[in-house]
Chains A and B, each alone.
Chain A
Amino acid sequence: MADKEEKEVIKSAKDIVNQLAVIIKTAHFHDPGNVAVVTAIDRFVALANSLIASEGTLVLELIGEFFYVNGTRIKYSLEYLLNFDFLGREFKKRELGSIIFRNAIKPADIQAFLKAFIASAFSQNPFETLTENLADVDCLIIGKPKKLKEEGEFDVRRMVKKTYFNAASYTKGIMNRIKSGEKVSIKKAKRVVESMVDLILEEEELLLGMTAIKGHDEYTYYHSVNVSILSVALGQRLGLSRKSLTELGLVALFHDMGKIEIPDEILNKPTNFTEDEWRLIRRHPFWGVRAILRLKGLDATAIRSAIVAFEHHMHYDFSGYPKVRRPSELDFYSKIVSLADQYDAMTSSRVYSRIPMSPDKALSIMMERTGTQLDPLLFTFFINMVGVFPIGTLVILDTKELGLVYKSNSLFPDRPRVLVIIDSKGSRVEGYVVDLTEKDAGGKYLRTILKTMDPNKYKINLAEYLL
């Protein structure tokens, strides 16, 4: 297929997904016969039939967080972000994974689909209801979501672990070599970040889960990797392209490069810093610029990395450090990295008064800092990403089970998946995962979070279960 044609098909695939969201949204407020719904359906039919004519069939799938049309992943773009998000939620609510349009479709087919789709939302078994109601619509076949981990969750986890520790190992290596004045290449850094970007796009929860593992001996390196992962994950939510995500990941990985100049005995000091030590700490943004620019001279990535290394402690209102003569608005990446940096630092030991916070506590403090230290808009996206109960939060359930938040749920932010470590009888267990969206026959939730606790106080973290 010629390149131009290919781009047009991808654009039309994007429009189709978007238009399906528009139809469903419109149908939530209007009767199916309403002119707004009818017009939206007509447009969808025209778009879909045009693709069916050229491709023979139209297969729309939701795999993980992404839509695929005829096997090609439809990339997020800002203009469609909300509609894609909405449609994804509606699919998940109904356990709907795919719709196959086999032949040319008519508006009546979509009217029928719409009625069935809306009706299924109120059913106990939405997918089955939907299938039943669509029995007469010949041109449509629906399917349940494909399981991402079909090829073996174990392999995926192994890959995630490998990528994470490769990144930490690489960061340690590069920092040590810079420290000893050796020449380093950033080709490897790009490869490390590309792997992380791929995993964020495919296995976001697992990689984010790795950032929740605390208690590494080599905080500085893990912190750099965690900030990179959190930044890329946020960047992905903001609709950045793969290439931009790599740049953001690199920039974030190098944000603390200036710390190589700070003696280890200060960085690893068990007590609070003296004024002189703080003075040194406050110099690290300058040293970061120096280390980055010495690394490979000037190019677009080095410039951006230097800017972020300099600005990541400046704060949204410039109340942080370093103080400058002519402050200008913080770079977009600096604002992202500041958020990721604060979150990871607060939920780790050794910085910020040396007392690590629970993830939910860190989020609530960060919320108080929006508009002063942190960008309020980006924080809104950030909290939507990590959820009310971020991964690693220690929770007690109304069933008297104690567990750690294992996987967040974008549809129901207060109903994540929880890894139970003490059962309702107070006995330690190996760890089983419960889904807080599960209901009993009467439609009542089986489990609800009652309280959150500080996992660090009891040295509890996900490490034991994820690794």
Chain B
Amino acid sequence: METAEDIKAAKEIIHAILRTKKNLRMYPENNPIYARTIGDTYTRFRSFFNYRDELNLKINQNDILYDSEQIYYNPGKDDNLAFFFFKDGLREITFKNGLSETEIEEFLKILSLDFDREFVDDDIVTLLWERDFQNIRYVVDEAFLAEDEDYETEAVREIKEKAPDADELLKAYDDAFKADEVKGVSIVPLTDDHLHSLARELERDVYDKTDKLVEILFEMLYQAESAGDYEDALNFLEGAIEFSIRHGNMETASSIMKRATGLINDPSLPDNVKRQMRLLFSFPSSGEMIKLLGELLDSVEIDEKVFDEYVRFLDKNAIPPFITILGELKSINARKNVINALTFLGGKDIRALASGLQDSRWYVVRNIIYILRKIGDKKAEEYLLKAVRHSDVRVRKEVIKTLGELGNRGVLQTLKDCLEDPESQVRISAARALSNIAPEVAKRIILEKVSGKNFMDRDLDEKKEFYEILSQWKDGDVVDFLMRTLKKKSFFRGAVNDENRACAAYCLGLMGNKDALPVLYELRDSKNELLREYAYTAIKRIEYGR
């Protein structure tokens, strides 16, 4: 008979288990509460074992007993620890002194699993069995494993009914003396060679079996005898693709698609099967599969070549789900891979890709613009123009850059309008884009801009960028303008004027214009520090080509 203290300690352990079961579900492993809860439960066990050798718990449907004392009771089905054990046949659990923290952690992890979910394939007894704990023993009632309670009795009765009668036995006895002498099979004793061969065989056996299954599934396809057979084989191949992606095996998924591609071109394959097979090709592009792919990309590093090969088998239906996951992925490499995928797939359907420009996340829109630029299809302009007024400056900048690289003159007016954008970065991008598309027109527009009164008030950086753009035109118009600016003196707003002069010096330096040297020499002694510095740098550039 246990003491009241023993019972109290056992109850505390049950409470600690219940608390841990809950906390382990609520908190991730790296959360301090997770580790603390396990530690607390372990401490309860340790203090119990300070004076006792084991904790034996009897499990009933609604209660748990310790030495015939009820230490837990719950008549309901929800969160009922007793029923949780009972329903899988557990009738007794014994924790032995010597229980390690690792053991208790493993045990608690099993308890915290969500057994109602589809993918937990094992019941609690199987999981305990697999762990093979040294210090946790249990007793199981296996009666429920039999489908039919009377099966054993019935089977034994039937077998015994067939027992030979005495005559048959005696006939066997008589015949025995006429039988041939014993020719037993000789046993080859096991040797080291056998063991080495077995070890090699076991080593060879450690391979991913999916490829072998795929081989079988294709064989089923080749040897199918009915539409149902084809449908089954194709469904299983879809399952194999999903399984491969789920387990990070993109090579197998690609090889399935590759073989299917070969098969669909086989003239001997009936048309209805080819129609069914096309469904196989659309499967990897489904939203569910792309989501799965995203999870994979975010969890492990995928070889770019392997990923690219897989993407070759996707169709344009994969574009929208790829756009969705692009905004959700956490790793840079994953996003890079998706951008590459969209660059490949987007070429097949610019419109579908451009739908991503409507995404509410600015970074997704910017990525889509980048992808459209990489694809380089002029058809994208019609969609890009709509993004020019995007609320985020980073998007506007990207779209202008893209329009510039696509090089269509039809966007000149839009770009010109962008030179009035409230953001300097956008104005700079617009100027660069203009110069890319139509240099002559751009020269005129930019000269006009930099000559304008408002330009004087822009930041030095913006001014410098505009002058830098001007440096690509080394003709008379530009040089005259620069020289005029360089020499221009102003009584009012002298510092702002000197900024313009400094930028002109910078531009002439970039152009390597030797005619500007005399004026630049003079400016080396300017009272304005910025002008002095820019003139000095320009001289160096022109004189030494630096």
Residues of A within 8 A of B (CB): 1-3, 6, 72, 78-79, 81-82, 85, 161-163, 165-166, 168-170, 172-173, 186-188, 190-192, 194-195, 213, 215-217, 238-239, 242-243, 246, 286, 289-290, 293-294, 296-300, 303-304, 306-307, 310, 322, 324-326, 328-329, 331-332, 360, 363-364, 367, 377, 380-381, 383-384, 387-389, 394-396, 402, 413-414, 421-422, 426, 428, 449-453, 455, 457-460, 463-464, 467
Chain B: minimal CB distance from A59 (Å): 16
Binds A, one of B141-149, B269-277, B448-456, B525-533: B141-149
- Contact B209 A304, beta carbon cutoff 8 Å: yes
Is B116 an interface residue when CB atoms closer than 8 A count as contact?
no
Chain A: minimal CB distance from B281 (Å): 20
- Contact A360 B100, beta carbon cutoff 8 Å: no
Nearest 3 pairs of A and B residues by beta carbon? A173-B147, A165-B152, A3-B102
B:147-174 near A, CB below 8 Å: 147-148, 151-152, 155-156, 158-160, 162-164, 166, 168-173
Give Cα A294–Cα B217 distance, bound, in whole angstroms.
13
Is B199 an interface residue when CB atoms closer than 8 A count as contact?
yes
- Contact B185 A364, beta carbon cutoff 8 Å: yes
- Contact A458 B164, beta carbon cutoff 8 Å: yes
Give Cα A464–Cα B161 distance, bound, in whole angstroms.
9
Contacts A2-B102, A286-B220, A453-B179; A332 near B201 (Cβ below 8 A): yes
Is B175 an interface residue when CB atoms closer than 8 A count as contact?
yes
Residues of B within 8 A of A (CB): 89, 98, 100-103, 121-123, 125-126, 129-130, 132, 134, 142, 145-148, 151-152, 155-156, 158-160, 162-164, 166, 168-173, 175-177, 179-192, 194-195, 197-199, 201-202, 204-205, 209-210, 212-213, 215-217, 219-220, 222-223, 229, 232, 236, 239-240, 242-243
Give Cα A310–Cα B134 distance, bound, in whole angstroms.
38
Q: A186-B121, A297-B239, A324-B216 are in contact. List 18 more A-B contacts (CB 8 A).
A: A1-B98, A78-B195, A166-B145, A168-B151, A169-B145, A170-B147, A190-B123, A191-B89, A194-B129, A238-B202, A303-B213, A332-B205, A377-B194, A383-B187, A457-B172, A460-B164, A463-B160, A464-B159
Cross-chain contact of B190 among A322, A324, A328, A381 (Cβ < 8 A): A381
Q: Tell me which residues across on chain A come within 8 A of B239, comparing CB atoms.
A: 293, 297-298
Contacts A6-B134, A383-B187; A298 near B243 (Cβ below 8 A): yes
Chain A: minimal CB distance from B90 (Å): 11
Q: Tell me which residues across on chain B come within 8 A of A213, comparing CB atoms.
A: 159
- Contact A428 B185, beta carbon cutoff 8 Å: no
Chain B: minimal CB distance from A349 (Å): 11
Give Cα A82–Cα B194 distance, bound, in whole angstroms.
10
- Contact A422 B169, beta carbon cutoff 8 Å: yes
Contacts A191-B126, A422-B169, A451-B180; A216 near B236 (Cβ below 8 A): no
Cross-chain contact of A464 among B158, B163, B223, B240 (Cβ < 8 A): B163
Q: Tell me which residues across on chain A come within 8 A of B191, comparing CB atoms.
A: 82
Q: Tell me which residues across on chain A come within 8 A of B134, comparing CB atoms.
A: 6, 72
Q: For A187, A329, A364, A414, which residue has the most chain B Cβ atoms within 10 angstroms?
A: A187
Residue of chain A at shortest CB distance from B123: A187
Give Cα A289–Cα B239 distance, bound, in whole angstroms.
13
Give Cα A332–Cα B216 distance, bound, in whole angstroms.
16
Residue of chain A at shortest CB distance from B175: A453
Q: Tell me which residues across on chain A come within 8 A of B215, comparing CB atoms.
A: 324, 326, 328
- Contact B142 A324, beta carbon cutoff 8 Å: no
Give Cα A450–Cα B179 distance, bound, in whole angstroms.
10
